[in-house]
Chain A
Amino acid sequence: MKKLLVLSTALTAVSFAAQADVTVMSWGGAYTKSQVEAYHKPFTAATGINVISVDSDNPAPQVKTQVEAGNVSIDVADVEYADAIRLCDEGMLEPIGMDALPAGADGTPAADDFLPGAVTDCAVSTIVFSTVYGYDNTKFTGDKPTTMADFFDTTKFPGKRGMRKGAKANLEMALMADGVPAADVYAKLGTPEGVDEAFAKLDTIKKDVIWWEAGAQPPQLLADGEVAMTTAYNGRLFSAAVSEGKPFTTVWDGQVYEYDLFVIPKGAPNKDQALEFVKFATSTQALADQAKWISYGPARKSSGALVGMFNDGKTEMGPYMPTSAENLKNALASSYEFWVDHDGELNDRFNSWLAAN
């Protein structure tokens, strides 16, 4: 028995880390890595506060679950725009506000430095990311897919497709593939007929789709040959293609882009450190540094000027950014107004659609 006690104390002793670290929940894989390099490490070096990184398929529902259960362990979460608004509406986030944020490196006040709409009551944008689709070059020897319609055309481009398991971005893409101009997509999706049309389009490839949940999955599905084409976050495809040399091509036609934001859940255990972290991570330099690691556009204008090469020292980042003029030719800005209102019902519809055979 005595031995047991000694052993158990020893076991417990090894496991306790220092407290008052900031826990940041983000999307994992190459994206989290870029945040670790650009935000976490410099933040720890500057303040001595450790940053614990937690991966998630989508941090927003977890924030909601934790706040509702009164059991919050996350200090900072990385969420999509519509979720940031919804969570803020529901009183599940700590307010941050523009006033708390530092001016840009060139002295521009935060309010002018951030891109329009990038800062809300409870959330601060870090980057602009995009949902695009990519394909494996080796799967298509003749014609290559170039448009959103090609993604839905399994006769011309046979093979499995990967799509995110959820309504958002898929419905928009389905409509654009069906010939709806980007500018009209949300007006159309606001009508029952538009929703039916989108689902009907998804129906045409339903049997060929493999659904992914975590952002790191689609490049893996492509690499494993499980799918021939897949929707993905543009930065993930970039990382696989440029840093790992995979033969993937990104198709920008019909891309759906939006902000990604940092939020602080209500009742976060280390609220003050969390706010420090958000301020640090959304500063001009940190945002510019992130672009060295992944192809997402910084949310501050002052950072844009500092974006240069990828960390390999030879890849110009510009053409890989969702916001470059070339890539914006047929692009859709994701509408948070639409998704704040319709997220629940469209996801319910999506799930029943998915479950029905």
Chain B
Amino acid sequence: MADLAADQGELLKTSDGRPLKEALAQAQSKAKWRAFMLVLPLLSFILITFAWPIAQVLHQSVYNPRFSENMPQIGEWFRTHPNGTEPDEAAYTALVNDLVSAGAARTVAVAGERVNYEMPGTRSLFTKAGRDAKKLEPPFKDSLVALDKDWGSPELWGVMRRVSSAYTGDFYLAAIDLERDANGAIRQVPENERVYVNLFVRTFVLSAAITVICLIIGFPVAFLLSSLPMRYSSLLMIMVLLPFWTSLLVRTTAWMVLLQSQGVINSILVWTGIISDDQRLVMINNLMGSVIAMTHILLPFMILPLFSVMKPIPPSYVRAARSLGATSWTAFRRVYLPQTIPGIGAGGLLVFILSVGYYITPALVGGASGQLISNLIAFHVTKSNNWSLAAALATILLASILLLYWLYDKLVGIDKLKLG
């Protein structure tokens, strides 16, 4: 190419004598740079207040220094002795030293808690030993085991070896109801302790159900709105947009008022004699409460994208199909419906993504059976203080959302997102 250009000799040049191609490229990169500079402040803002915190969640899900920081000597022993070494007197000495210093610093319970995640019931072993370790006499192996025979258990030593490293994937195992046995092999937790897989399944099934319900009841409304003349449709549109603009808590409260057993719906049913006073329906504090309230809250997110896709579809297509002999059902199914698929995809994904992450509404109206994965993440942050498990659950949830988001971007295009 270069040779060819040289052969031609005469290149197009700008007035100041530079080759046009070069000048153009320069101008373009300048324009590029200028456009990028406009975006840069926001991009850095988002990186700090959004991307970095999420990175911290990822980090927390594999990092838990509660044991390793407070029990350094035994950690050292584990590092110098390969897996399978029988704990010797040196190991017990290191352990007792750690227990004494952690006991004095009042951090032994923190270390014990980390072990307790893997092996329930061991927290008190540590707190007790933390109180009594300073009175122990060598040989420590015998005296510590005399304090509590559990200190000799190979399972405990196996767990301590694992938690002595601050980085671990164990919380991901816990987040999908798996654990390690004494030999480190992965197995399912006992049946009465399985929580998270069920909860993930419930969250996704519930979200799918809400998405389908929203589609079924949103489609006719979007269709009606798109086919009515402007002056009626904008009036009806208000009925869709007003809920959209109303506070989430107001809407949740409204449903509590409607659904509770002394609430509006039950009172009307009793008053009209459809049910008797002691047969009041239970519609709240259970799964049903979550489904009803979330469907109501998310319905506008289905109707609006459907509407924006249906609006530009010319009615003449269906008329043409009819005139060619199609029944109204065939015309709808073969001609109209396929054109609305982008709207169905956009609305469906949006509703699904939003409902998977719901927290407030299930917490208020869901009772025990209507709780979703977000509620459990919140529980582990504020109540059980198992932050790493909360982070692992959040990461799994995040990964599935990002997958859907990517899908949304591929199918719909994120820049096509419209509001109101």
Contact = CB atoms under 8 A, between A and B. Distances in A.
A69 B385 CA distance: 10
A50 to B, nearest CB: 27
A224 B384 contact: no
B195 interface: yes
Nearest to A210: B285
Given A64-B385, A90-B106, A90-B107, A351 B123 contact: no
Interface string B366-405: 0111010000100101111100000000000000000000
Interface stretch (A173-181, A238-246, A339-347): A339-347
Contacts of B383: 58, 61
Interface stretch (B18-26, B73-81, B109-117, B207-215): B109-117
B195 A65 contact: no
Interface in A137-160: 160
A61 B284 CA distance: 28
A226 B284 CA distance: 9
A190 B262 CA distance: 42
A345 B385 contact: no
Interface in B186-207: 192-195, 198-199
Contacts of B382: 61-62, 65
Contacts of B108: 89
A4 B194 CA distance: 55
Chain B contact-residue range equals 35 or more
B367 A348 contact: no
A158 to B, nearest CB: 9
Given A91-B106, A211-B368, A226 B195 contact: no
Interface string A271-296: 00000000000000000000000000
Contact of B192 (A68, A88, A344, A353): A353
A354 interface: yes
B120 A344 contact: yes
Q: What DSSP secondary structure best describes chain B's contact surface?
A: loop
A341 B371 contact: no
A226 B260 contact: yes
B61 interface: no
A355 B105 contact: no
Interface in B159-199: 192-195, 198-199
B138 interface: no
B371 A355 contact: yes
Given A65-B385, A211-B368, A357-B369, A344 B107 contact: no
B107 A91 contact: yes
Nearest to A207: B369
Nearest to A88: B106
Interface string A329-351: 00000000000111011011101
B379 A351 contact: yes
Chain A contact-residue range equals 20 to 34
Contacts of A349: 192-193
Contacts of A58: 383
A86 interface: yes
A15 interface: no
Contact of B195 (A62, A165, A344, A355): A355
A356 B198 contact: yes
A160 B280 CA distance: 12
A352 interface: yes
A105 to B, nearest CB: 35
Contacts of B198: 355-357
B124 A341 contact: yes
B190 to A, nearest CB: 9
A109 interface: no
* Residue among A91, A348, A355 with the highest chain B CB neighbour number at 10 A: A355
Contacts of A64: 385
Nearest to B66: A68
Contact of B109 (A61, A86, A355): A86
Contacts of A160: 282
B143 interface: no
Contacts of B262: 224-226
A356 B381 contact: no
* Residue among B130, B285, B383 with the highest chain A CB neighbour number at 10 A: B383
A61 to B, nearest CB: 5
* Residue among A88, A345, A353 with the highest chain B CB neighbour number at 10 A: A345
Interface string B112-136: 0100100011011001001000000
B352 to A, nearest CB: 22
B123 A65 contact: no
B233 interface: no
B124 A340 contact: yes
Contacts of A210: 285, 367
Contacts of B110: 90-91
A210 B368 CA distance: 7
Contacts of B282: 160
Contacts of B260: 224, 226
B116 A89 contact: no
B193 A348 contact: yes
B394 to A, nearest CB: 16
* 9 closest residue pairs by CB, A with B: A91-B106, A341-B124, A345-B120, A90-B109, A355-B195, A352-B195, A89-B109, A225-B262, A352-B193
Interface of A: 58, 61-62, 64-65, 68, 86, 88-91, 160, 165, 209-211, 224-226, 340-342, 344-345, 347-349, 351-357
30 contacts: A61-B384, A89-B127, A89-B130, A90-B106, A91-B109, A91-B110, A160-B282, A209-B368, A210-B285, A210-B367, A211-B367, A224-B260, A224-B261, A225-B261, A226-B260, A226-B285, A340-B127, A344-B116, A344-B123, A344-B384, A345-B120, A347-B384, A348-B120, A348-B384, A349-B193, A352-B192, A353-B192, A355-B198, A356-B194, A357-B369
Given A211-B368, A341-B124, 18 more contacts: A89-B108, A90-B106, A90-B107, A90-B109, A91-B105, A91-B106, A91-B109, A224-B260, A226-B285, A341-B121, A344-B116, A344-B120, A344-B123, A344-B384, A345-B116, A347-B384, A351-B195, A355-B198
